[in-house]
Amino acid sequence: MDLGKTGARVRACGPDGVREGEGPGVVGLAAADGVRQVMAALRGALEGLDVGRVDVLAMGLVGYHAASARREALAEALLTEHADVVLLTGDVTTTYVGAIGDRPGVVVAAGTGAVALGADATGRTVVRDGWGFLLGDDGSGYAVGRAGLRAALEHRDGRGGSAALERAATERFGELVGLPAAVHSAAHPSQLIASFATDVARAAQDGDEVARQIWADAAAALARTARACREALDPGLPVCLAGGLAQVGALLAQPFAAAVGGEVLRAAGTSLDGAEALARQAWSGAVSPVVADQVSVVRACGSGLEGAVAEEGGADGLGVPWPRRVGKGRR
Amino acid sequence: MDLGKTGARVRACGPDGVREGEGPGVVGLAAADGVRQVMAALRGALEGLDVGRVDVLAMGLVGYHAASARREALAEALLTEHADVVLLTGDVTTTYVGAIGDRPGVVVAAGTGAVALGADATGRTVVRDGWGFLLGDDGSGYAVGRAGLRAALEHRDGRGGSAALERAATERFGELVGLPAAVHSAAHPSQLIASFATDVARAAQDGDEVARQIWADAAAALARTARACREALDPGLPVCLAGGLAQVGALLAQPFAAAVGGEVLRAAGTSLDGAEALARQAWSGAVSPVVADQVSVVRACGSGLEGAVAEEGGADGLGVPWPRRVGKGRR
């Protein structure tokens, strides 16, 4: 399962073949009712798929790094309802594995939020940004959407901004004087704001200079986050830009590649591919050493949850059976 | 009454003298349950003051400009519970009247949020910014606090930032890895973030360059909002920086004065002084023509609310009796 702010996606693999489902996303495990949110999102994405209890559930989820205190409760709930073995990690880890597999490098996962995971050949990992839309997520879809809406309101105010973005925002949201109320009373303001990133992309492709600059700023911010991972581990690591925002294409990819320098990789697969790969690794008994430091594996022992335990990974990877406790995924 | 995001203040003037009370603020009238919020804040601020029904209630409130659809409902609720005549306006108007009275000019009200009101000698008014913390409020306490916390997290991430602000943030909020969860699950994230502005001020006063730049950026943003008012009305209007953020002093006032240019006035009084002045004007029968365009006055007719009506102001000011309908306070 891949669980982000914008949506949840599951892929069920078994003897009957592969089925996929999707549903709404969540604010994140770090939200006050994070465990309940995650469980509801899983049920929503599984709806209609006729998937019963599974052997292994691998889940990459937003807010994982900020919510270490809630991981154990989530693992126990998942073991009770869904699977015999649960692998938990941040959505940036599933994005990493989907994008570049078990190769050392830096993967920037840019969607509604933005976070980067770096991993070197010795099993060391670092996470940068992912601080959420109010304090970080620099260069994210939220940041692009917010900058676009600000430019729309600035133009309306006669404080500069962009006429093209004011038109686009009015088309999408109606008379702009009502926009703050709509945004501040939305169930998920960050998603509403991030939804405007596609309009900013269209305006940029149509030649609007303010919109182009917003994308250039986003690329520079994402490159800065990637470079911080490199600097903490190994300046020679290759970098890959992945996640939903990367789908905007050259508008983001070109200035990102120019700003980040060094080797830039193309993402080979999605975060859902990464979650599947991690589930298969957990099933086979060993999680790749490159990201093992970011992963918790918990399994039910006997009939109850008393023995719910987790293996901690390290430089030699992560052997699944008989682990100790939940709580991995350090920044 | 002055009702902002950070707090509510009331001043009751009568034959028994003057009493003041205060209580928690509100997200704003534009929030989904804005009317309920405002009514609760008024009751909270009045608690213990032993103030019964009053002749005139003048209220400057945050979110007023974004919530024209809710003004009538609020006026009716206030007429039912608290007063025979209700004057409603934005908190920027009470700040304006408290700061420079009925003189034409531009007043920037900077607190947790930021908004500017310009008024010329002919009765024309304009409002700029005040778009709320997610989309605007450039140069506000929220913007300063957010920039300070971002600099703290950036430093922790090895992405630049400020060591002094990282120390200050850790002192105030504890281990920073938990900060996003604390902020995103707070009842009022914008207030929590704005509370860090005082730490940013202290760091700047202690010579931290990043903190100084944050205040310089805030001053430039507030000056830009003020200039937008001038440009829409009259480039020669004097400008005044008022509101809670202005209390930080020279750190903000000096770069603001330099960036805004022209005549800069000192605020003569507070927004609560402005609310009192407006209440007295409504009681005397005529609201000052300078801000009349931003003010709604509603009075109960007879015994019921059926006749609740409001006068619309204009170039000749606002005569209180037998008005027409609510809905004033245009951008």
Task: Supply A51's token pair.
Answer: 């998937």
Give the number of other CB atoms < 10 A from CB of residue B232. Answer: 18
**Is A283 in contact with A85 (CB distance < 8 Å)?**
yes
Angle between helices A250-260 and A197-205 (to 10 degrees): 90
CA distance B177 to chain A (A): 6
Q: Across the interface, do B184 and A158 touch by the CB < 8 Å criterion?
A: no
Radius of gyration for the alpha carbons in chain A, expressed in angstroms and rounded: 20
Please report where in the chains the tokens 């006749």 appear, as a residue: B307
B161 vs B157: CA distance, rounded Å: 9
Residue in A150, A157, A232 nearest the CB of B158: A232
Alpha-carbon distance of A63 to A302, in angstroms, equals 30
* Closest Cβ–Cβ partner in B27, B160, B180 for A132: B180
Q: What span, in angstroms and rounded, lies between the C-alpha atoms of B128 and B329?
A: 12
Query: Is B185's CB within 8 Å of A149's CB?
Result: no
Mutation target vs A (from B138, B159, B188; most A CBs, 10 A cutoff): B159
**In order of start, what are the domains of chain B with their CATH numbers?**
2-97+271-319 (3.30.420), 102-265 (3.30.420.40)
Spatial contact of A225 and A108, defined as CB atoms under 8 Å apart: yes
| Per-residue tens of pLDDT for chain B, all 331 residues | 999 887 899 999 988 899 999 999 887 787 778 899 999 999 999 998 989 999 999 999 987 887 788 899 999 999 999 999 999 999 999 999 999 999 999 999 999 999 999 999 998 999 998 888 888 899 999 999 999 999 999 999 887 899 999 999 999 999 888 888 788 778 788 889 999 999 999 999 999 999 999 999 999 999 999 999 999 999 999 999 999 899 888 999 999 999 999 999 999 999 999 999 999 999 888 888 889 889 999 987 644 333 333 444 444 444 443 333 344 565 6
Give the sign of the dihedral formed by CA B262, CA B218, CA B5, CA B165.
negative
How many CB pairs below 8 A link A and B?
A: 116
Q: How far is CA B268 from CA A56, B8, B10, B77, B101, in A?
A: 68, 20, 19, 32, 8
ipTM over 0.95: no
Based on C-alpha coordinates, what's the Rg of chain B? 20
User: Which of A134, A178, A185 has the CB atom closest to B189's CB atom?
Assistant: A134
Element (H, E) at B88: strand B83-90
pLDDT tens over chain A, length 331 residues: 999 887 899 999 988 899 999 999 887 787 778 899 999 999 999 998 989 999 999 999 987 887 788 899 999 999 999 999 999 999 999 999 999 999 999 999 999 999 999 999 998 999 998 888 888 899 999 999 999 999 999 999 887 899 999 999 999 999 888 888 788 778 788 889 999 999 999 999 999 999 999 999 999 999 999 999 999 999 999 999 999 899 898 999 999 999 999 999 999 999 999 999 999 999 888 888 889 989 999 987 644 333 333 444 444 444 443 333 344 565 6
Given a contact cutoff of 8 angstroms between Cβ atoms, the answer to whether A89 and A329 are in contact is yes
Alpha-carbon distance of A235 to B42, in angstroms, equals 58
Over residues B16-33, the pLDDT tens digits come to 899 999 999 887 787 778
What are residue B11's DSSP bridge partners?
B20
Our CA dihedral for A200, A204, A210, A212, rounded to 10 degrees, sits at 110
User: Is B250 strand, coil or helix?
Assistant: helix
Q: How many residues does chain A have?
A: 331
